[in-house]
Amino acid sequence: MTTRRTGTRRTALAAVLVAVTAFTGGGVFGGGTARADNGIDTLSAQQIADRSRDALLGVRSLHFRARGDLGGHDPSVELDLAMDRNGNCDGSVDLGGGQGSVRIVKRGDDVWVKPDAAFWKNQVPNGGPAYAAILKGRYVRGSANDPRLRGVAHACDLGRLRRLVVDNAENDRGTLNKGRRTTLDGAPVVPLTRLRDSRTLTMYVAATGRPYPLRITVEEEGRRAHAVADLSAFGVPVPAATPPPGKTYDINALPIRSTVPL
């Protein structure tokens, strides 16, 4: 089941994650429900960024939504994923431009994926309709270690995201600045911006409760904002439901054992 644009899509998904971890090396996630002012207005931009980085390393689960194009040529990709440190994940990836979407469920080492009709038509030109006919709307089920599903497992892996943060923690290339306190969807925030090469990254950090970022935007010089990542539901468990056996199809039973899309 070989897809036409698998490598390009994986690059785009990875680019979203890398951009999100590019601030101080990435401290861009967090949560908290307390409403008290946290005093970050008095901190330097680097101090705020450092605290947000540390916050991500303590997060057990979160809801990560990213949309945009970081590859320069791809349709706008959208990720909408709840994930945790235990390898659990629930959500979807939309390839944009009418190219199709994939529903994803992951519990530990088990992965279920359900591409829609547009995906089969556009991403698997050789045999896509045949696979769709075999599956009849069911999920493909397999192991997260199966090379055909590894891309899905990586996109859903909060541990991998945290490792990106750790790996990039010392990367402070670019100018970091603190903006004036403002609001984001009614919540008080302090924006940080980092200018790196031709990109401007803006991170909105909560000014009440724990000082964790709520949104990242990425702008390319001379272009409109083309990537946004929102973070929410910190510490909320990932939905535990998995597709029932009657709505799944074992990946090893497919007639051609090649690359599963994503």
The answer to whether position 177 is within a domain reads: yes
The answer to whether position 37 is within a domain reads: yes
The answer to whether position 259 is within a domain reads: no
How does strand 139-143 pair with strand 248-250? parallel
0.75 cut: is pTM over it?
yes
Residue linked to tokens 């994923």: 81
The answer to whether position 10 is within a domain reads: yes
DSSP class of residue 159 equals H
**Residue 25 banded pLDDT, cuts 50, 70, 90:** very low
Q: Which two tokens stand for residue 57?
A: 């390393």
Q: What's the rounded Cα separation, in Å, for the pair 54 and 44?
A: 16
The answer to whether position 53 is within a domain reads: yes
Task: Please give the pLDDT value at position 225.
Answer: 52
Q: What digits encode the pLDDT tens for the residues 107-138?
A: 999 999 998 988 888 887 777 888 888 999 99
Q: Which two tokens stand for residue 232?
A: 């929410």
Q: What is the number of structural domains in the chain? A: 1
The answer to whether position 224 is within a domain reads: yes
The answer to whether position 114 is within a domain reads: yes
CATH of the domain at 142: 2.50.20.20
Domain of 45, in residue numbers: 6-253
Between 134 and 21, residue with greater pLDDT: 134
Task: Please give the pLDDT value at position 24.
Answer: 39
**Contact yes or no for 53/169 (Cβ under 8 A):** yes
The answer to whether position 260 is within a domain reads: no
